Chains A and B, each alone.
Chain A
């Protein structure tokens, strides 16, 4: 009894699979155009041999793809004419099915290398140019920034493609960083930044103050409130105002409002004797500074 039941179930399964393959083994719904083939697997598939190109072309002749039933060019499908010039006509290498009645994508692995060079080099023959102001101002050489694998993957923007007045107008595309330094500067971005990368910039802090090992800190330690036009040396415990004033007063230096005019780094040996403040010093003060530096050197 048990064996008969099992045998019966097996026979029913085989019969159902043979009669209703769409219900039994179909891995996904066919597209609307192929619905009439849903119980006729062999219309496309050759068992154990894949999908024969001949079977596809029997209905979809590449020479007629993009044309209507009378052979006239269908303007809405003009882009499909590239099928005529494909180097290798292997339908299933690009197209797939069983992805739903109205799949958003019926392509599996579209390979741009199969296109003829005329179509390959003219992206706009298939793809619409993005309507944003950036793309509209650029040339049609998409390949300068994009690749054929993915529109957004590994995009390397080539600034040389920018034409006209915008070529040196970074702000036409980029926003200024929202800090006082960048907001207040009128200099062209290219003075510090390159076209390839925003960071690192070529801005040389050492031209103003060399950041030695003792001064590796965040910008706002010295430039408080994001204002890079002013600085203070009194934000750390090392330089308290009272100690600094006392130390300089011993040397007869009283105007110490602009530290970096004399101190170009954190080293006490690195004192700029031609600093602006020296103009206000008398000879005796200058002698004291020099002596002080020499003592430290010894």
Chain B
């Protein structure tokens, strides 16, 4: 019995996602411990710039820009967004005041999750599913028997495929909420 896709890909994804939150909590704790909370403000700036920079990949993918290696830009998109998200999470801290910034954080978390599902999991899971399917058919199983055998894996992949439906709209909402947050801070910060 081969390892189900849930354990092979989804659990590592959850670990990667949890690591982001743990990093943010750890850095936030250290900043408070060493009385360096003011750094959190600058992490908001740098995190936002990093995430914006990582969007070069999206521009390249849509041929809005022509230069740059797509592979390297994709790596920048994946890792830059992740690091930027950690910085922004530290910037947000564990404060429950205004709703708007919290909606932005919620969108950020969903965007990162959908991004991780899309580019970190889906491709590998799809390849593995195809490979297993061909192996089972070659071993003499019928298509129906193969589908039955791979039922759980198919469900998992189908769920992952929904990332495309979520990733772009949520990213747009995130951008909008961040913009609202920045404008409100500029308007009322002093």
Contact = CB atoms under 8 A, between A and B. Distances in A.
Interface of A: 2, 5-6, 9-10, 13-14, 16-17, 23-29, 41, 45, 47-51, 92
26 contacts: A2-B169, A5-B169, A6-B172, A9-B173, A10-B176, A13-B103, A13-B176, A13-B177, A16-B99, A23-B99, A24-B99, A24-B100, A25-B101, A25-B184, A25-B188, A26-B98, A27-B98, A28-B97, A45-B187, A45-B188, A47-B187, A47-B188, A48-B187, A49-B190, A50-B190, A51-B190
Given A13-B177, A47-B187, A27 B100 contact: no
B98 A25 contact: yes
B71 to A, nearest CB: 29
Interface of B: 97-101, 103, 169, 172-173, 176-177, 180-181, 184, 186-188, 190
Contacts of A13: 100, 103, 176-177, 180
Contacts of A16: 99
Contacts of A41: 188
A179 B151 CA distance: 81
A5 B177 CA distance: 15
Nearest to A26: B98
A100 B94 CA distance: 16
Contact of A27 (B97, B103, B172, B173): B97
A29 B176 CA distance: 25
Tell me the dominant secondary structure on chain A's binding face: helix
A92 B176 CA distance: 31
B173 A17 contact: no
Contacts of B101: 25
Given A6-B169, A6-B173, A26 B97 contact: yes
Given A17-B100, A25-B181, 20 more contacts: A6-B169, A10-B173, A10-B176, A13-B100, A23-B98, A24-B99, A24-B100, A24-B184, A25-B101, A25-B188, A26-B97, A27-B98, A28-B97, A29-B97, A45-B188, A47-B188, A48-B186, A48-B187, A50-B190, A51-B190
A24 B98 contact: yes
Closest A-B pairs by Cβ, 7 of them: A50-B190, A25-B184, A47-B187, A24-B100, A25-B98, A45-B188, A26-B98
A38 B181 CA distance: 18
Contacts of A50: 190
Contacts of B97: 26-29
Contacts of A51: 190
Nearest to B176: A10
B176 A25 contact: no
A92 B188 CA distance: 13
